[in-house]
Amino acid sequence: MILDAQHPLSSGLTADSRLIQAYQGVRPDVTPVWFMRQAGRSLPEYRELRVGTRMLDVCLDPELASEISLQPVRRHNVDAGIFFSDIVVPLKLVGVDVTIVAGKGPVLGKAVRTSADVDELTALDPAILDEALAPIRDAVGRAVSQLGSTPLIGFAGAPFTLAAYLVEGGPSKDHIHARTLMHAEPEAWARLMAWTADVTGRFLRAQVLAGASAAQLFDSWAGALSLVDYAASVAPASAAAIAHVRDLSYSVNGADRNVPIVHFGVGTGELLKEMHNIGADVVGVDYRVPLDEANRRLGGAVPVQGNVDPALLTAPWPVLEAHVRDVLERGRSAPSHVLNLGHGVPPDTDPDVLTRLVSLVHDVSAAE
Ligand code: CP3
């Protein structure tokens, strides 16, 4: 489907931005930079807005969600906004009993542990999301109208990461119940993954149709899986999730382009090639694998995103600077590179360090 003429990719507002060029495999004059979790607790203006509110209520308030999405863009001069929301928002909207507990993460009213639990969950009809996602479309529209030529990135959780919360009932270290269900009840697992792919795929598509210029699928916990399990029991559902946006296109100077899709995971060094193979355009790399090695594993033709170690954000500046220069240098081996962190911004990060890091990336890459 072709995006409508008002979409910022179709109208040309964001199609030539550094971020979209890099995501399309073209190396721009300056390396673009944004940060996972750039909107959030590292910003005093965010903490101020959040006093007395609940996370999921904020996500469903279009005015607040768009304002919070814009805060880091105003402050840091990053090359993209990321939509402020959460991977469990579409679960909440489809009728799952889920809350977000501060300092902990998503917690479910009831863990999905058996085939009967999967029946109960999947009886919730993902089609109701087309209406229920209205506040998300509204929030994206508001953010995009303020962002002008700075692209907004939409995102969703990958089916495995969402299933990890659903099956565990909350955050967990090794996702052992999810991995047990995968093997003990493969048929129930497949139904759980297909349903989750549909729910999260609709969330992602709604954001792109409402004006997001790129889409990122977060499979934060896929690093808990072996390559064989990932390929057999997870990758097909991730492909089904991004199929919801894979058909979306726009044209620049008469050439058709697809809306770029980024795929990111933590501890997924062994899975990088499979994560690209689901149909992603760009692979996000965590801090464990250097970008030149990630590029080699990906075959040398895939744009990469990453991978400054978040732990170094609180190290002395010269230590961080040397690390960022090294990341930029290694990123030059790939066709194009978007600088990011290897995982989200830690809450105790000094926001001025992030602002300084953005100018360092722009200055160093412009001089090369
Ligand atoms: O700036 C951005 O990146 C946009 C916002 C964003 C949030 N969550 C806001 C949020 C994004 C992209 C996410 C995705 C998300 N949510 C992921 C994938 C990315 C990752 O970090 O691996 C995951 C695994 C979740 C689930 C989740 N939600 C966790 C682990 C937490 C943290 C719990 C905590 O308080 O430490 C949340 C809550 C959450 N999502 C917060 C924010 C700003 C904190 C809520 C608060 O301030 O009360």
Query: Is 40 a known ligand-binding residue?
Result: yes
CA of 82 to the centre of ligand 1 (A): 12
Residues annotated as catalytic (active site), given as ranges: 37, 41, 50, 86, 165
Residue nearest to atom 32 of ligand 1 (CA): 105
pLDDT on residue 227:
98
What pLDDT sits at residue 298?
Answer: 98
Distance 309 CA to ligand 1 centre (A): 18
CA atoms in the 13 A half-sphere facing the CB of 129: 27
pLDDT tens, position by position, 126-155: 999 999 999 999 999 999 999 999 999 999
Per-residue pLDDT, 115: 97
Average pLDDT, the chain: 97
Q: Which residue is it, tokens 């609940």? A: 54
Q: Tell me what pLDDT residue 60 has.
A: 98
Answer for the pair 212, 248: CB distance below 8 angstroms, yes or no: no
Q: How far is CA 117 from the centre of its chain?
A: 28
Please return the burial class of 363, using the count of CB atoms within 10 Å of its CB with bins 0-12, 13-18 and 19+: exposed
Give the Å distance between the CA of 100 and the centre of ligand 1.
9
User: Per-residue pLDDT averaged across 7-30, rounded?
Assistant: 97
Phi and psi at residue 253, in whole multiples of 5°?
45, 45
Q: 73 pLDDT band (50/70/90 cuts)?
A: very high
Task: Find out whether 33 and 232 touch, Cβ atoms under 8 Å.
Answer: no
Nearest CA to ligand 1 atom 4: 84
Give helix 134-147 / helix 186-209 axis angle, nearest 10°. Answer: 40
Q: 305-339: per-residue pLDDT in tens? A: 999 999 999 999 999 999 999 999 999 999 999 99
* Pairing verdict, β 282-284 and 261-265: parallel
Average pLDDT of 74-89?
98
Q: Ligand 1: which of 86, 161, 200 to mutate, judged by most atoms within 8 Å of the beta carbon?
A: 86
Residue 172 has pLDDT above 90, yes or no: yes
Question: Residue 165 annotated as binding?
Answer: yes
Is residue 48 pLDDT above 90, yes or no?
yes
* DSSP-derived 3-state class of residue 108: strand
Is 362 annotated as belonging to a binding site?
A: no
pLDDT at 368: 83
Cα–Cα distance, 57 to 169 (Å, whole number): 20
Average pLDDT score over residue span 256-277: 98
Would you kindly state where each structural domain of the chain is located, as residue ranges? 8-367
The residues lining ligand 1, judged by C-beta closer than 6 Å to any ligand atom, are 36-41, 50, 55, 82, 84, 86-87, 100, 102-106, 155, 161, 218, 220, 344
Share of the chain above pLDDT 90, in %: 98
- pLDDT at site 8: 98
Question: Which pLDDT belongs to residue 272?
Answer: 98
| Residue 2 per-residue DSSP state | B
Cβ atoms of 196 and 121 within 8 Å: the answer is: no
Cβ pair 196, 244 in contact under 8 A: no
Helix or strand (DSSP H, E) at 295: helix 291-297
- What are the tens digits of pLDDT across the range 195-222? 999 999 999 999 999 999 999 999 999 9
* 220 labeled part of a ligand binding site: yes
* 198 annotated as ligand-binding: no
Which residue has the CA at smallest separation from atom 8 of ligand 1? 86
224 token code pair: 């808990």
Which atom of ligand 1 is least distant from the CA of 59? Answer: 9
* The model's pTM: 0.97
At 253 the pLDDT is 83
pLDDT given at position 341: 98
For residue 86, how far is its CA from the centre of ligand 1 (angstroms)? 6
Question: Residue 153, SS3?
Answer: strand
**CATH number of the 8-367 domain:** 3.20.20.210
Tally the C-alpha atoms within 13 A of residue 229's C-alpha that lie toward its C-beta: 16
Ligand 1 center from residue 11 Cα (angstroms): 31
